[in-house]
Structure 1
Amino acid sequence: GLVISLANYSVTDHEKPIEMPPKELELLYFLASHPNQVFTREQLLDQIWGYEYIGETRTVDVHIKRIREKLTENPAWSLTTVWGIGYKFEVNA
């Protein structure tokens, strides 16, 4: 399965270590910590980059794309785009 640790900033996917920059790891951790909850890009920017962040909301899109590229597809969960709103870490029962 997927294991995300903020203690040592590591991600493993099926026991295979995945190299991930801090912001990608923090974004994945935040979404996975709130399963099936939808967050707007603005909410994610505030949570991960901080309220003082000035820049494009598309930054979130780029990070989500990079995270998806690094992780293998899994029937138990997915990083889902909620069109017109944002993203969620969807857990399939």
Structure 2
Amino acid sequence: MEQLVTFMLMIATFVLLYFMMVRPEKKRRKKYEEMLTTLKVNDEVVTRGGIMGKIVNLQEDFIILESGPDRTRIKIAMNGIATKAVTEK
């Protein structure tokens, strides 16, 4: 009987860990991938390195950003994008 209680507690712990760790991560990843698929030319984005720029060209796995006053163009991997920049109006 004691072994059954221990086993049930172990199962409950794994279920709790799933709902506290795995499920939120899947939800976050899905939201991130959705954001990547909705990117378009002229969107302002922030890279994982903190560079802010405007998308000037979209390719399958890469994007070209224009950044800075000199309008420098940077080619980065699609997964290098952290978020869309929030623009104040």
Q: Is the TM value for this pair above 0.5?
A: no
Shorter-chain TM-score category? under 0.3
TM-score (norm 1): 0.21
Larger Rg: 2
